[in-house]
Amino acid sequence: MKFTTDALIESLQLEQLGEGTYRAPNVDSGNPVVFGGQLLGQSIVAAALGQDGKTVKTIHTVFSRAARPDLDLQISVDRMHTGRSLSSSTVTISQDGRICVRSQVTLCADEPDLIRHADGPAVPRKAPTDEPTPDNDWQIHILDDVDVMDADAVGPADLDAWNRLPGAPDDPIINQALLAFTTDGYLIGAAMRPHKGVGQSQAHVTLSTGVLTHTLTFHEPVSAGDWFLITSHSNYAGHGRSYGRGDAFDRDGQLVASYVQDGMIRPMPTGRSHGL
């Protein structure tokens, strides 16, 4: 998949249709389904609209149905609570009258520390050097020369990658949305690594794969235009499902976000090209 920062930001520009209702475009991933990270990012932006002074703390998303890249999305926001320090909303993304994604989003205002601690990466990693890219391409440096597309390459159920979206604007919500976008795709690849003959090159071809639930919690502000490290570990796979968790660190090793994910990995049903 090839994405540019400009294309991702364009997908985050929601067109208001009415009170709490919006229309949004898709980014072409080259796959027959919309990339789940795009839907996470759009849910974050939608939940934050009208919530000045707050950023997203946690988003819990259930992917109930695959979305098609050739149809616009309809987004509705139901505000459950709006307070001075905490707010919560339900965000529903539909397409052609059918619900695809529903998220519970909690937002909060910044507050001073009472206590503070945070894990660092298990192994200190040095960020790559900045490199100019055409069209502000999403830059990914997967560590240890891991090739998740190679079905014959076998390794532990871990996947660590530096990410950077050059040209990201100085907007905290957009940066949260862009980081959320990047977290979606690694854990299924990590779950496949220990199993010879299974790789991401088979996704949507001979294997039916997809994210079922994704919970992402933000700890610190993040700049998606600078290098950040995502570490992912799948601690279970079976019964056609996978599970794992991951963390995101800035270039200095500060923990900025954490996430867990349930996925689906199963043989493609006969006559189907994708779907949950």
Burial class (CB in 10 A: 0-12, 13-18, 19+), 89: buried
DSSP for 131-167 reads: ---GGGBPEEEEGGG--TT-TT----SEEEEEEE-TT
DSSP codes of every residue in 29-45: -SSSS--HHHHHHHHHH
Walk along the chain (276 residues) and give the pLDDT tens digit of each residue.
678 999 999 999 999 999 999 999 999 888 889 999 999 999 999 999 999 999 999 999 999 999 999 999 999 999 999 999 999 999 999 999 999 999 999 999 999 999 999 999 988 889 998 777 766 789 999 999 898 888 888 999 999 999 999 999 999 999 999 999 999 999 999 999 999 988 887 877 888 899 999 999 999 999 999 999 999 999 999 999 999 999 999 999 999 999 999 999 999 876 555 555
Number of other CB atoms surrounding residue 180 within 10 Å: 30
Whole-prediction pTM value?
A: 0.93
User: Residues 40, 91, 268, 204: is their CA dihedral positive or negative?
Assistant: negative
Which residues, listed in sequence order, are joined to residue 105 by a DSSP beta bridge? 59, 89
Count of C-beta atoms within a 10 Å radius of residue 168: 21
Residue 125's pLDDT is 86
Superfamily of segment(s) 5-110+132-267: Acyl-CoA thioesterase, double hotdog domain (2.40.160.210)
pLDDT of residue 169: 94
- The reported pLDDT for the residue numbered 202 is 85
Encoded tokens for 48 = 């934050």
Domain ranges of the chain: 5-110+132-267
CA count, 13 A, side-chain hemisphere, 66: 18
**Quick check: 150 and 184 in contact, CB under 8 A?**
no
pLDDT at 135: 67
AA letter at 41: G
Nearest CA-CA partner of 260 in 228, 232, 224:
232
State which H helix or E strand residue 211 sits in.
Answer: strand 207-218
CA 186 remoteness from chain centre: 9
